[in-house]
């Protein structure tokens, strides 16, 4: 059975933790699990390695994890904290290499608007990023992995998560920015083996699940193992984890899962 | 005499140093002066504090230097390594605060295209960035400081540096991305007191000055004290500094000048 190695590059919300200029206990904490770069994961399989989202910390995250191979990039949506590291992908398109960029049409439109110099075909030199856009309109393959997009709501925006399935292996889902799951996502995630889910904070938020909402979703879906992610500075790692039921834990920057 | 405190937030080229996946001696060096985030400076005066450029490392740089006040933002140009940290400026527009953004028309157009959700007036809530664009078309004031834009060429692009002058104080110029100085910039920089100048590397580059070009410019201008910046991984701090004449030194991340 071929496995997936998943590394959490970041588990923070849009402004990261610590927050600039914030004196709260979590932002001033010395617990390394309370240091959160912007949310992203790196997935490694034998045939293909990919990253989900490239926020502003992408270079820092690559250096920390010594990432030397990225064969594809997947985007959940076009918000700044998930895309603005795009330019640093150029290190993975050295020479003639084109980098497949998988995103919904709405997100590709955002990327093309923001990074038009990369998509307009006029700057395809050796050291620069050469993206090959792939519009997501259903399941697709990355190496031997079947990837299924998972539409969710994120405020007024519809974003996607991803379900990853290696042949004969357990299913793994990553849903980082989500208020509610759309019906086809509920269907795809029924009894999912490993679920990574947005759980921004304890108090309610208009565009993200809080802990109660994420716990309810996980129970409703019957997920076997659940990791929460995309935390604000309301969440002290140690204290928050102590409140969680069996089978649920908090992801943290640098966490590695073998799935 | 009122002074300026200048902090170098970053002194690296577009991809930073170390470069992702690079095994060269500089990228693998343990000398902290060979660790370079993307180029930017923070200038503090009593009446006004501002940052020049906000690359992807802006949040990291704010945390490292414990920056708690930004009254204005100045941009040299719209390249990714100088602007994509824009979203993290939201920490400095909390409440009703509008943040003055000073840039040329071309650069403001880039910013508005990339960050349209910030400029379109539809997302002006408490925690989000509220930019107040100011088109640079000549000298302007920040607190008691007179700021003069310095047009330079940067490949096909015309970018700007800045000359900062406090009443009765020495002049300070920052020119981070530059191949040649345009005539009005040469005029403004004649006998400048403190000059910070692009010196990407030793070998030639189509859009940046190399060490020889920067040394020649500094001598031609008659700068009293010169700091080089915006280095690639060709530049080992200690070795490169040993080659420089008196009055010229290499800036590094975290360097502070009192001017």
Q: What is the pLDDT of residues A15-54, one digit of tens each?
A: 999 999 999 999 999 999 999 999 999 999 999 999 999 9
What total of structural domains would you count in chain B?
1
Report the pLDDT value the prediction gives residue A111, as an integer from 0 to 100: 97
Report the pLDDT value the prediction gives residue A122, as an integer from 0 to 100: 86
Chain B nearest-CA residue for A18: B63
State the average pLDDT for chain B: 96
Residue A169 to residues A2, A103, A144, A175, B73, Cα–Cα distance (Å): 7, 25, 11, 19, 51
Q: Measured between alpha carbons, how far is B161 from A132 in angstroms, rounded to an integer?
A: 35
A228 contacts chain B (CB < 8 A): no
B171 contacts chain A (CB < 8 A): no
A12 contacts chain B (CB < 8 A): no
pLDDT in tens, A143-155: 999 999 999 999 8
Q: Measured between alpha carbons, how far is B90 from B94 in angstroms, rounded to an integer?
A: 7
Report the pLDDT value the prediction gives residue A127, as an integer from 0 to 100: 83
DSSP letter at B243 equals T
Give SS3 for B175: strand
Residue B90: exposure state from Cβ atoms within 10 A (0-12, 13-18, ≥19): buried
| Distance from the first to the final alpha carbon of chain B | 10
Q: Measured between alpha carbons, how far is A99 from A133 in angstroms, rounded to an integer?
A: 8
A146 contacts chain B (CB < 8 A): no
* Element spanning A72, H or E: strand A72-74
B67 contacts chain A (CB < 8 A): yes
CATH code where residue A45 lies: 3.60.15.10
ipTM above threshold 0.90: yes
Closest CA to B84 of B121, B50, B118: B118
Q: Measured between alpha carbons, how far is B44 from B41 in angstroms, rounded to an integer?
A: 10
- The greatest distance separating any two alpha carbons of chain B, rounded to the nearest whole angstrom, comes to 53
Are B194 and B224 contacting, i.e. CB atoms less than 8 angstroms apart? yes
Quick check: A184 pLDDT over 90? Answer: yes
Q: Measured between alpha carbons, how far is B68 from A202 in angstroms, rounded to an integer?
A: 27
Report the pLDDT value the prediction gives residue B94, as an integer from 0 to 100: 85
Q: Measured between alpha carbons, how far is A108 from B67 in angstroms, rounded to an integer?
A: 34
Report the pLDDT value the prediction gives residue A2, as an integer from 0 to 100: 86
A86 contact residues in B (CB cutoff 8 A): 80
**A interface test, pick of B9, B15, B16, B20 with most A CB neighbours within 10 Å:** B20
Q: Measured between alpha carbons, how far is B230 from B10 in angstroms, rounded to an integer?
A: 8
Cα-Cα-Cα-Cα dihedral sign, residues A153, A154, A160, A165: negative
User: What is the band of B1 on the pLDDT scale with cuts at 50, 70, 90?
Assistant: confident
**A interface test, pick of B27, B84, B117 with most A CB neighbours within 10 Å:** B84
Quick check: A1 pLDDT over 80? Answer: no
Of A25-34, A116-125, A229-238, B150-159, where does mean pLDDT reach its minimum?
A116-125
pLDDT in tens, A220-236: 999 999 999 999 999 99
Report the pLDDT value the prediction gives residue B221, as an integer from 0 to 100: 96
Q: Measured between alpha carbons, how far is A151 from A159 in angstroms, rounded to an integer?
A: 6
A20 contacts chain B (CB < 8 A): yes
Give SS3 for A78: coil
Question: Which residues constitute the domain of residue B21?
Answer: 5-258
Q: Measured between alpha carbons, how far is B107 from B160 in angstroms, rounded to an integer?
A: 10
- Which value, to the nearest 10 degrees, does the dihedral of the CA atoms of residues A51, A56, A58, A64 take? -140
Are A96 and A104 contacting, i.e. CB atoms less than 8 angstroms apart? no
Query: In sequence order, which residues have a C-beta less than 8 Å from that of residue B95 and are 6 or more positions away?
Result: B126
A14 contact residues in B (CB cutoff 8 A): 87
Pairing of strands B180-181, B157-165: unpaired
Average pLDDT over residues B77-89: 97
Report the pLDDT value the prediction gives residue B153, as an integer from 0 to 100: 94
State both tokens at B10.
Answer: 């970053």
Rounded to a whole number of angstroms, the CA Rg of chain B reads 17
Closest CA to A92 of B114, B15, B169: B15
């Amino acid at each position: 059975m071929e496995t997936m190695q998943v590394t959490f590059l970041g588990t923070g919300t849009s402004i990261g933790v610590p927050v600039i200029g914030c004196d709260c206990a979590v932002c001033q904490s010395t617990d390394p699990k309370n240091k959160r770069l912007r949310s992203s994961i790196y997935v490694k399989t034998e045939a293909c390695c990919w990253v989900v989202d490239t926020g502003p910390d992408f270079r820092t995250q690559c250096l920390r994890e010594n990432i030397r191979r990225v064969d594809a990039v997947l985007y959940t949506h076009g918000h700044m904290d998930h895309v603005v590291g795009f330019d640093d992908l150029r290190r993975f398109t050295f020479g003639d290499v084109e980098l497949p960029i998988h995103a919904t049409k709405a997100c590709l439109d955002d990327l093309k608007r923001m990074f038009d110099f990369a998509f307009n075909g006029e700057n395809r030199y050796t050291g620069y990023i050469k993206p090959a856009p792939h519009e997501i309109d259903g399941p697709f393959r990355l190496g031997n992995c079947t990837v299924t997009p998972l539409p969710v709501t994120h405020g007024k925006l519809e974003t996607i998560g991803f379900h990853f399935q290696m042949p004969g292996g357990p299913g793994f889902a990553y849903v980082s920015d989500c208020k509610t799951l759309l019906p086809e996502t509920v269907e795809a995630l029924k009894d999912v083996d490993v679920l990574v889910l947005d759980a921004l904070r304890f108090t309610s938020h208009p565009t993200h699940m809080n802990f109660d909402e994420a716990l309810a979703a996980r129970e409703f879906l019957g997920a076997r193992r659940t990791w929460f992610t995309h935390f604000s500075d309301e969440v002290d790692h140690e204290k928050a984890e102590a409140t969680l039921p069996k089978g649920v834990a908090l992801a943290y920057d640098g966490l590695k899962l073998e799935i």
